[in-house]
Structure 1
Amino acid sequence: MSGPTLADDCLCGLDGEQRACVEGRVYGPCDHPNCGGVCEMEADCDCPCHHASRTAPTVADADHLAFRAHHGQVDKAGRPYIDHPRAVAAILAQQGHSDHAVMAGLLHDVVEDTPITLDDLRAAGFPEDVVSAVDAVTRRDGETYMDMIRRAAADPLGRLVKLADNANNSDPQRMALLDPADAERRGRRYAKARAVLLAGSAADELDAFWGPFNPAAERG
C-alpha cells in the first residue's frame, strides 16, 4: 500500500515520524512490501513493522498538539490562549497527578475551541481516559455551563482537570485583567461550579487546589 507524505499543515507536525496524527493519518518510511515504501497507518493497514513501532503519545506530544491547535487564539485579556491549558497542566503536575491528567489538562479545550474532535484524539493514540476527560469538560451544543460541570464532576479525570481549570480561571491576577463586571460575573459562576466539583472532597484535596494556587478564592 502506498500513500502521500504527511501534509505540511498537519496539526501534529510529525513529518517523518511513525506516530499518530490527529488528522487520522500516519506516514513514514517502510521497507515492508505491503507498504510500497510509505505506510499509511490505518485500521486496515497490514504492515507489521509500523504497527509494532507505533508509540503512545507523551505529555510533550499533548503540549505540541495543544500549541498547534490553539495557535493564533488569545484569551479575554489578549494573551496567547495556550498559556491557559499549560497553566492547568502545571497545576495538575505540581499536585503529582498522572501524566494522563496532565495530558488531559493540556488538551481540555481543543475539542470545544478548535476543529479537533474526540475521534481525532483517539486516532492520535491518546488513552481513552484522557479522551473521556476531554469529553467531560467539553460543553456540548445546547448544554448549559452547569450541566457540563455536573458531567465533569462524574468523570474522575475530568473532575481533576475542571478543578485545575477553575483554579486558573479564578486566579486573582488573571481576573484583574478582565472588565470588572465580567470578572464579578465569572467569579460567581466559578464559585458555583466549585461547589459541585468539590462536593464530598477531603480537606487535603481542598487545600491542594486552593492553598498553593489561589488562596483568595472562595471554595464554594
Structure 2
Amino acid sequence: MTSGSSYPATIAAAVEKEIVIKKSRFIARIEPVRSVSEAEAVIAGIRKRAWDAGHNCSAMITGLRGDQARSSDDGEPSGTAGVPMLEVLLRRELTDVVAVVTRYWGGVKLGAGGLVRAYSSAVSEALGGASLLRRESLTQVTIEVAHADAGRFDNLLREWVAQHGSTLGSPLYGATAVLEAWVPAEELDRLSADLAAASGGAVLPVFGGERIVDVPV
C-alpha cells in the first residue's frame, strides 16, 4: 500500500454513522484494531448485537504496512458490499481498522450498483467523523533538566513537537526532570540547535532508539 518509511494511518477511536437509502438502514461502525483476531472479535460482537439485521458486511485491513486485507458480503450479492467497503479503506490509506455495515432492509431493492454505493458511502461518511493517527518511525530524545527549569522546557518541547511532526513522551521525575520526545530523524539536528539556543548550550539532548509512533493528524 505504501513504500519507504511512510506507513498507512489508522484511527484514534471507533466511529459510527447511519444512512438511510430507500428505507434501508445502513449502520457503519469502524473500529481501530491491532490484529485479524481482534477484528474478527469486533465483527462477531456486532453480529451478536445486530442479530435481527439482514446483513452485517465487513472489511478489515491490518498489519503495519496494511498488508492483510479481508472482506465479507455476508449474503449480499457477490462484490456489492465487502469489496466496496474495503476499497474505501484502501483509498484512505488506512490500516489496523475494521469496518462493519449493518443493513436493515427497507423493502425496496437497490440493485447491484445501488448496494455498492450504499455500502461504500456508509463507510466513507463514518470515516468523516474519525480522528486520524499517522504512523511515523521516530527517534527517542530525552533531555535532563533541573526541576526548577522543567516547566519552561516542557512548554518549549510542547510547542516544538507540534511544529515539527513529533510527539511528546512520558517525563520522569527523580533527582532531576527527564523530558522525552519522539522526533523524525531529519529534525534531530534542528531540535539540538533549538535546545542549545534556549539554554545557552547547557541542555544537550540524548538520542535513543527508534520505534513506530502514532501521531495525531
TM-score bracket, shorter-length normalisation: under 0.3
Q: Which structure ranks higher in relative contact order (CA pairs < 8 Å, sequence separation ≥ 6)?
A: 2
Q: Which has the larger radius of gyration?
A: 2
Return the structure number with greater helix share.
Answer: 1
- TM-score by length of structure 2 reads 0.24
More strand by proportion, 1 or 2?
A: 2
